[in-house]
Structure 1
């Protein structure tokens, strides 16, 4: 067993499909498959069950998974210790993030940065994406993790990940029995959505307007769990990024897909000043995100999105 195989094991267990797990790991699909097969042969047992729809860990795979994660964490900690012993930095780092981005664990990134650079004073703020972009532009933050493609022309931007928007409805709703709906079927519905400063709100508003959907936003929230609670109580339906529909708190709600060719993408990026101050420590944090950026680049190359939505590092 080696670290690369552990990385492949964790990626496949998390994504439950070879295509995305391979993109995240930065290898070809055949390379990932060969790595998992070699690990299974070494251990003398199957680690995954494979169906036409998904790949799931076997009991043996589940038993190995926490050790694989621990090995990767220990390796990262070792690399950080070496960096810390050779590059002592001091100063401050001002970071912002929208709540519950899902595709990037911001507290974990800040923890690793703190391990590498314990003398750096980290300041963290949480707000909506549009507000955060404005704070980066004004020099109030060194960088921010956001979920918007608006108002980012004057900042440096690195795409971390992208997910489709899906529809969440309570089980008794008239659309709950559909696996996919057309936009016209949403016309006149009551909705729950986020405040205007959240990137997903403007994404939803634009998509509904483009498809002639007249929607009533009856409940406006600033918290994902409140949105899910209101949906459970039948107070409206919601357009949310795919990862929110997969949260444990969404269990019991029905996820319905939108038309594949017109479904908007929710894109998570890290933004920073294109001309950072000499004392800015943003580049050191961005170093920790380079594997994520490489993963998205590989995924984008595989799926072929529009050129202006590819990985951007302006």
Structure 2
């Protein structure tokens, strides 16, 4: 059942303001528009609510029965509106940021702590989504910016590459390859491998780097999320290839650098074309980029 709120509003205004002209003035509408709204409400109910003469309006029996209910409903709507409006005024400002899950899960906590010290009054919402979803959030203004991968995008977003993150081999601590500092892809032939597919976007990066060679490896399992693939590795079900930061300090996981070929992904900040970030958003952007670059430098210094 559809509720004709506009019709009920017109009906209430006509009664409370004493006629169609004052009701039209109050609603900033023409008399014709007010009459149309009332007629539409009466047609939907199948009965007349008002009897109109050249000098006055009179409630019908149906109108008298409906009036207190309409008045109560409208008053409740006004109270609800005021409540929501006051909540909006009192609520802290939100900073919304898009971020790839593989980075969000490993990089956000220290950045958010540092940000909270600078802007304790700003609440932060993280949209940990896929590359395409982050682009859409930024494009439609839902997110101030996104931390994503450098790639073409249909929205024409500005894209600033700020780091390269290598892919590494993740394996259980007791696996023979876990003792290696660096592993070549050829050493993975015959190993049980876990592929990470969409929506992460990592599979495409690996496939592009390996070319036809990718078909010669034993991809026995496939997941859509890095965290699940790493859990399978920790439980001894196989090995996987992941962005280096996503496997940093994960219990039950050892990582090794991968060579021949070296595979890496370009990390980028995406913003709307020509957009200028507010100071809190700019601070968050700088903290994220600096934190990720620093952690990548630590990986280079101490090994994967």
TM-score after normalising by structure 1: 0.51
1:94 and 2:99 are equivalent in the alignment: no
Change (3 A) 1:123 1:289: closer
Provide, for residues 162-204 of structure 1, a one-character-per-residue CA deviation record: whole Å limited to 9, x for no partner: 3321112235656456543332333464322434121433322
Which residue of structure 1 lines up, in the alignment, with residue 222 of structure 2? 219
- How far 1:130 moved relative to its partner? 3.7
Q: Which of these residues, 135, 140, 143, is aligned with residue 141 of structure 1?
A: 143
Secondary structure at the counterpart of residue 139 of structure 1: coil
Q: Which of these residues, 182, 194, 201, is aligned with residue 184 of structure 2?
A: 182
Which residue of structure 1 lines up, in the alignment, with residue 265 of structure 2? 266
TM-score after normalising by structure 2: 0.52
Change (3 A) 1:155 1:210: farther
Runs of 4+ in structure 1 displaced over 6 angstroms?
Answer: none
RMSD: 3.9
- How far 1:206 moved relative to its partner? 2.3
Which residue of structure 2 lines up, in the alignment, with residue 151 of structure 1? 152
Counterparts of residues 15-94 of structure 1 (less than 5 Å): 91-94=93-96
Distance 1:200 1:234 in 2: 22
- Greater helix fraction, Structure 1 or Structure 2: 2
Distance 1:176 1:109 in 2: 30
Distance 2:163 2:143 in 1: 22
Contact 2:100-2:147 within 8 A present in 1 as well: yes
Contact 2:150-2:159 within 8 A present in 1 as well: no
List runs of 5+ in structure 1 lacking aligned partners: 1-89, 304-314
Structure number with bigger Rg:
2
Secondary structure at the counterpart of residue 262 of structure 2: coil
Distance 1:143 1:110 in 2: 15
Distance 1:121 1:133 in 2: 22
Provide, for residues 253-286 of structure 1, a one-character-per-residue CA deviation record: whole Å limited to 9, x for no partner: 4x333226x312233332221233x8x63x5422
1:287 and 2:283 are equivalent in the alignment: yes
Distance 1:194 1:107 in 2: 24
Secondary structure at the counterpart of residue 141 of structure 1: coil
Counterparts of residues 94-243 of structure 1 (less than 5 Å): 94-101=96-103, 105-117=107-119, 120=122, 122-146=124-148, 148-152=149-153, 154-171=156-173, 173=175, 175-176=177-178, 178-187=180-189, 189-209=191-211, 211-215=213-217, 216-224=219-227, 226-243=228-245
Provide, for residues 137-169 of structure 1, a one-character-per-residue CA deviation record: whole Å limited to 9, x for no partner: 3433221222x2223582223344333211122
Change (3 A) 1:172 1:142: same
Contact 1:187-1:213 within 8 A present in 2 as well: no
Contact 2:159-2:271 within 8 A present in 1 as well: yes
Matched residues, number: 203
Distance 1:221 1:213 in 2: 19
Secondary structure at the counterpart of residue 238 of structure 2: coil
List runs of 5+ in structure 2 lacking aligned partners: 1-91
Change (3 A) 1:152 1:103: farther
